[in-house]
Structure formats: structure tokens, C-alpha cells
Amino acid sequence: MSLGAAEHDLVPFDKYAQAALLLTTPSSAARALAAGAPQIERVDRLVQTIAAQHGMRSDVVDRTVALVDGWLEANRQKATRA
């Protein structure tokens, strides 16, 4: 809400949690990373950057960014060796 969302626009966490239980396939970003993509669109980094601009941070977001960074770096190294 500190970024401008109205309370009536927010979706309760329980709805997200229920939807997550129904997920059966990896995200398109995860599939691209596993397939060796050296670049992907980064919502994780966008969230991290916007949060930092507002003096916020999240350990979960930071760990996600680091994990994706690691995959991308490994994929880039594999691409240069091929």
C-alpha cells in the first residue's frame, strides 16, 4: 500500500496460496533457465529495484535474485564454451 495500491485492490494471501497449490509446471522463466537461456525477463530484479527505491528489502526477493543470477551466469559460461 505504501507504493500506491488501494486496499480494495489487494488480493488476500490465502487466494495466492490456494492458487499456488494448483501449479503443476515450472514458470516460463524457470523453463528458460533450465533450457540454458543466457537472458530472461526479470520480474524478481524489478521488484528488488523498486523496493530499494522505497527503502524496502526482502530476504526472499534477495535470495531469488541471487539464485537467478547464478543460473544466468552458468548459462552464459556454458554458451561461451560451446
Mean per-residue pLDDT, 48-54: 95
Q: What total number of domains does the chain contain?
A: 1
- Whether 12 is covered by a domain: the verdict is no
Q: Would the pLDDT of 75 be above 90?
A: yes
- Whether 64 is covered by a domain: the verdict is yes
Mean per-residue pLDDT, 17-46: 94
Instruction: Please give the residue range of the domain that contains residue 77.
Output: 36-82
Identify the pLDDT of residue 61. Answer: 97
Identify the pLDDT of residue 39. Answer: 97
Assign 30 to helix, strand or coil.
helix
- Whether 69 is covered by a domain: the verdict is yes
Mean per-residue pLDDT, 56-82: 96
Identify the pLDDT of residue 3. Answer: 81
What is the distance between the alpha carbons of residues 78 and 38, in angstroms, rounded to a whole number? 9
What is the distance between the alpha carbons of residues 60 and 67, in angstroms, rounded to a whole number? 10
Tell me the whole-structure pTM to 2 decimals.
Answer: 0.81
